[in-house]
A and B are shown apart, each in its own frame.
Chain A
Amino acid sequence: MVQDARLYQIGFLALFLLLGAGTRDWSLNPVVVLSAIATCLITQALCGAVFYPSDSLDPETEDPETEDPATETANHANHTGDFWGAIALRCRNPKILSSLPSALVTGLGMSLLLRVDHPLTMALAVIGAIASKFVLRLRGGHVFNPGNFGIVMALLWSGDAWVSPGQWGESGWYGLLFLGAGGLVLQKVGRWDTSAAFLGSYAVLEAVRNLWLGWTWDVWAHRLMSGSLLVFALFMITDPRTIPNSRTGRLIWAGAIALLTFILRNVFFLSTAPFWALFALAPLSLLLDWLLPAARFEWSQSALRLPFSPRLASRQKYVPE
């Protein structure tokens, strides 16, 4: 049994991409998807080489790995002034390989949600998404959900990116698939409460509005059965590295995002409301972590045995910050 939930996520996101392209009349351009995948992996590797501290905590795994031979040599090379040698050695940092699945999840998620006219736009959005993990950091963690950050940046700054909230339609079958797949992944990372809190509070808010307006209940069901909303709730806001660590914090946070989504959608008529809500409230998770401290989430590594660093795989003990 594979332990790393990210691999499930990668599998499901890839499946959704294929399903969507095959059955939902999407104008998915394979070149765009490939550019997203290639860019996310390359950017992650490069950023890892540049930013991962060679002798302290790894931002992705935060394994207290201090005696890795590669990093030791890298430090040595730095001291002797051999710049390129140091870079080459840094590229062999085993933490880079272990962080690639996260990057791939971001790349696939963005291919699924973001539509662009040109592959370059996708590449830039993905670079922004991955780079945000390394540059926009506070209290030892990244501030924004990388995929969400990339999507919002592309919507804001590029002239040819958009999001199609109606792309999945509201077919019940797809809804079940999303719920099932999302549930499986969230079970593995123990963050199902976030999705439940988001969907639950959003459903309640929409129900109250529906009741007040006097719409029939199929209007409510139609608004909630949107495939895009489910993908967002199950695969985007649940990124365990950018949500509050304590359960209470997560519930408050997810409820706040649901409320802001509801307001943006029904008062400001933004069809891409969930993305803006998540973007605006991402920093709130840092505040909630400060108010309600709890142990930080770590990706389990046992699925990724690193060929040139056997000691890492054998040292899986989690040491809190």
Chain B
Amino acid sequence: MRSFRVWAIALIAFLLTFTVSSKALAFCGFYVAKADAKLYNQASQVAIARSGNRTVLTMANDYQGDVKNFAMVVPVPVILQREQVQIADSRIIERLDSFSAPRLVEYFDPDPCAPPIFWNRPMAAPAMESAAPGRAGRSNQALGVTIEERFTVGEYDILILSARESDGLETWLVQNGYRIPQGARDLLRPYIRQQMKFFVAKVNLEEYENSGYQALRPLQMTYESPRFMLPLRLGMVNAESSQDLLVYILSPEGQAEVSNYRTVKVPSDAEIPVYVKDEFSAFYKAMFQTSYTREGRNVAFLEYAWDMGSCDPCSAEPLSPEELRQAGVFWTRPEMPNNVFITRLHVRYTRDKFPEDLIFQQTNNRSLFQGRYILRHPYTGEMACEAGRQYRRSLRQRFEQEAQTLARLTGWNIRDIRDKLPQIRAEQFPALPLVARLQQLMGRVMER
């Protein structure tokens, strides 16, 4: 009986090992300089449209240097053929960015002495900086490196490489004129061992000049893979400091989130002083940095999650069906044109806090979220009524509240903020009768 049990256990273990098959099949690479130009990539933007295992990945390219020095290496899960790589319209990433960007909204207080009227006007979003430098070269050698595919798309010459060893790949890249950052070899190895391929792009100068475009356009690749991730590690090799990554995930289901780091909502719906209108970019940067530090520097921030059929308030018009198609959305049909949910994730990463590549997952969570900041303009017209006086008295407290909110969100000095707050002066209300003005003065004295 006992030996029978042992055999039964062995059989189960044997069956288990055979019921699983092996499949290995991810992203955001590092830029490689061919010449001696300084390497630096501060922020990158990626759009991922995904349904099932089918993924359309668009990498924005804001490379500012000389195009002949541009090159990039990105690990990809499968060998990509010519028809799987396209050039996307660079406006598409801009449209996704402006549609989903954290937004400032302003409201105007109504005349407290009159029936209310509201305005609700979206403001321009903060401009998110992006940069994408790099350089390249090419050649052809053995070294365990195989050129799986070689083709030209738009202004890019593209190679799909597979490698057996990281040493060979590194040598190949160096021999072909790519400047590899120190330490890249150790980081290439895990991707090679996961049987990932390397997407290497550089600019075909002839095509570039013929195209007449001023800037490099985004590269878009389509593939099938159960892997839903972005390789950060390679990108950190040549990083001087923390780097920003904006990921726009388009899904037919709902919100996407990072499954191996926390996904945290960026602070939102805060009422802040009106003067921030002129320095919203500085505000957003400071607020993001404060939240980033407070959360331990190892989270992904959710900045926007919305059904792409609408927006409220809109920082930009929703994308048209044609624009969605250009952004990689492949599942919409004429009868269901708006079956697209966008998630905007903002990751600020450093080597010490993000050891592992980002892994995403789609969820059925269709709750809406937006980074939204509110300015409430006080009413400044004449207020010759009791309600008006109460309103005026309430303003001081409101301004203080807004100042404290701003200080808490940004870490700015509360005294500097208070100095910039509007002053409430009695001269603003000249039409008040004498008794009311006395009461007002009394109120002010008592508030002090």
Contacts and interface: CB of A to CB of B under 8 A. Distances in A.
B298 A169 contact: yes
Interface string B131-165: 00000000000000000000000000000000000
A132 interface: no
B365 A162 contact: yes
Contacts of B298: 169-170
A263 B356 contact: no
B367 A169 contact: no
A213 B231 CA distance: 14
Given A24-B262, A117-B367, A291 B228 contact: no
Contacts of A292: 5
30 contacts: A24-B262, A25-B265, A27-B265, A159-B364, A162-B361, A162-B363, A162-B364, A164-B259, A166-B258, A166-B259, A166-B260, A166-B261, A166-B262, A166-B263, A167-B262, A169-B262, A170-B261, A214-B189, A216-B355, A222-B260, A222-B356, A260-B16, A263-B20, A267-B21, A267-B23, A269-B25, A269-B228, A269-B229, A272-B361, A292-B5
Contact of A214 (B20, B22, B186, B299): B186
Interface string B6-23: 001100110010001111
Contacts of A159: 364
A226 B190 CA distance: 21
B190 A213 contact: yes
A260 B299 CA distance: 28
Interface residues on B, range: 35 or more
A31 to B, nearest CB: 14
- Interface of A, secondary structure class, is loop
Given A213-B190, A267-B22, A269-B226, A168 B359 contact: no
Interface in B256-272: 257-265
A287 B229 CA distance: 38
A259 B18 CA distance: 13
A168 B262 contact: yes
Contacts of A161: 364
Contacts of B359: 269, 271
Interface in A153-171: 158-162, 164-171
Given A213-B193, A291-B9, A165 B259 contact: yes
B228 A164 contact: no
Interface in A276-294: 284, 287, 291-292
A218 B357 CA distance: 12
A115 B365 contact: yes
A256 B19 CA distance: 13
B223 to A, nearest CB: 14
A252 B226 CA distance: 29
A219 interface: yes
Interface string B254-294: 10011111111100000000000000000000000000000
A215 interface: yes
B261 A169 contact: yes
Contacts of A84: none
Given A162-B254, A269-B228, 4 more contacts: A160-B366, A164-B363, A263-B20, A269-B359
Given A215-B190, A219-B355, A219-B356, A291 B5 contact: yes
B364 A222 contact: no
Interface centre among B24, B190, B229, B258 (most CB of A within 10 A): B190
A47 to B, nearest CB: 28
3 tightest Cβ-Cβ pairs between the two chains A and B: A162-B363, A271-B259, A218-B355
Contacts of B25: 269
Interface centre among A166, A214, A267, A291 (most CB of B within 10 A): A166
Interface residues on A, range: 35 or more
Nearest to A215: B190
B334 interface: no
Nearest to B366: A117
B296 interface: yes
A166 B229 CA distance: 14
Interface centre among B13, B261, B265, B361 (most CB of A within 10 A): B361
Contacts of B175: none
Interface string A163-183: 011111111000000000000
Interface in B350-377: 355-356, 359, 361, 363-367
Contacts of B190: 213-215
Contacts of B227: 269
A158 B356 CA distance: 31
B9 A222 contact: no
Given A117-B365, A166-B258, A267-B22, A259 B299 contact: no
A223 interface: yes
Contact of B189 (A213, A259, A291): A213
Contacts of B13: 256
Nearest to A158: B364
A256 B24 contact: no
A24 B264 CA distance: 8
Interface string A279-317: 000001001000110000000000000000000000000
Contacts of A267: 20-24
A261 B261 CA distance: 18
Interface string B284-320: 0000000000001011000000000000000000000
Given A25-B264, A162-B365, A165-B259, A284 B355 contact: no
A313 B215 CA distance: 80
A158 B254 CA distance: 14
Interface in A127-156: none
Contacts of A215: 190, 355
B363 A171 contact: no
A252 B333 CA distance: 50
Contact of A256 (B16, B264, B366): B16
A192 to B, nearest CB: 23
A212 B194 CA distance: 10
